[in-house]
């Protein structure tokens, strides 16, 4: 069935060019979406644009430091000017600090909350405003199993992902009648450039694999597949949901 996902020509703004965001941008572009990709790391932007071209798609890149609400709004407006009002929006920005609660500094907390949660709110609010005005939108946010599970040494990260899940639900409730769906994908243990160093230390890879019923780690393309589905017309009656892409991790 040709163009089963109906993404060809749809303007899509992806924020975050790291492993999961980058893989998702390539997947959307390969389906024919008109993708704008924003990230502070220009090297990542260039690498993802090359990968999209090799996959038969194209990506417009927007270098941007998003730790400012006005810059977030500017990025959404710039994407709209370059590719059209976004019909798909993906937030894939975030990082973790692995320390016990008693060892965290004020700066640790503030920086993680700002990057992981505040940028989701600032960007999601402005993209949502445009989508509500247009009467159509597919919004996806990258959450984590840490938003549900109580992992030690993950306090700020887990708090932001739990908060993100609730932000998604409220946005979905407010915008459902306006043609805008809002969902999250919650990856489990995925091997990316950001996690590779941690996985390669102290037997962490094997220890984490033992916690997953599927007995393996995920790869970014598996998260990208879930994002691409939620971005499509095939997911038009799905909203306010957190889709776990975790090999069964939250089951145990």
Residues of the chain with pLDDT under 50: 1
pTM of the model: 0.95
Is the residue at 252 inside a domain? no
pLDDT in tens, 167-185: 999 999 999 999 999 999 9
Residue 147: partners with Cβ closer than 8 Å, 6 or more residues away: 158, 161, 162, 164, 165, 186, 242
Is the residue at 52 inside a domain? yes
Tally of CB atoms within 10 A around 216: 12
Q: Range of 24's domain?
A: 11-191+221-245
Is the residue at 251 inside a domain? no
Is the residue at 230 inside a domain? yes
Of 121, 136, 157, 244, catalytic: 157
122 has which bridge partners?
none
Is the residue at 169 inside a domain? yes
CA dist 169 and 239 (Å) reads 8
Is the residue at 85 inside a domain? yes
CA dist 17 and 14 (Å) reads 8
- Say if CB 83 and CB 135 are below 8 A apart: no
Is the residue at 203 inside a domain? no
pLDDT in tens, 108-152: 999 999 999 999 999 999 999 999 999 999 999 999 999 999 999
- Whose CA is closest to 148, among 162, 166, 160, 167? 162
Is the residue at 212 inside a domain? no
Residue 39: partners with Cβ closer than 8 Å, 6 or more residues away: 15, 16, 17, 18, 21, 45, 61, 62, 63, 64
CATH classification at residue 47: 3.40.50.720
Whether 244 is catalytic: no
Report the number of distinct structural domains present in the chain.
1
């Amino acid at each position: 069935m040709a163009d089963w996902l109906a993404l060809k020509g749809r303007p899509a703004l992806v924020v975050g060019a790291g492993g999961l965001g980058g893989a998702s941008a390539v997947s959307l572009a390969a389906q024919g979406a008109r993708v704008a990709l924003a990230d502070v790391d220009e090297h990542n932007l260039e690498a993802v644009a090359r990968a999209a071209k090799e996959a038969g798609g194209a990506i417009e890149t927007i270098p941007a430091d998003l730790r400012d609400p006005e810059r977030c709004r500017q990025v959404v407006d710039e994407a709209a000017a370059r590719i059209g009002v976004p019909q798909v929006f993906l937030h894939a920005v975030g990082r973790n600090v692995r320390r016990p609660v008693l060892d965290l500094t004020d700066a640790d907390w503030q920086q993680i909350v700002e990057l992981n949660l505040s940028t989701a709110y600032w960007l999601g609010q402005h993209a949502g405003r445009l989508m509500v005005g247009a009467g159509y939108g597919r919004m996806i946010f990258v959450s984590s199993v840490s938003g549900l599970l109580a992992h030690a040494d993950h306090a700020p990260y887990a708090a932001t992902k739990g908060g993100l899940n609730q932000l998604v639900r409220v946005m979905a409730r407010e915008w459902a009648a306006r043609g805008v769906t809002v969902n999250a994908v919650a990856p489990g243990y995925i091997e990316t450039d950001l996690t590779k160093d941690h996985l390669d230390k102290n037997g962490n890879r094997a220890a984490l694999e033992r916690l997953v019923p599927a007995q393996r780690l995920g790869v970014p393309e598996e998260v990208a597949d879930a994002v691409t589905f939620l971005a499509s017309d095939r997911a038009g009656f799905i909203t306010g949901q957190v889709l776990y892409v975790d090999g069964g991790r939250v089951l145990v």
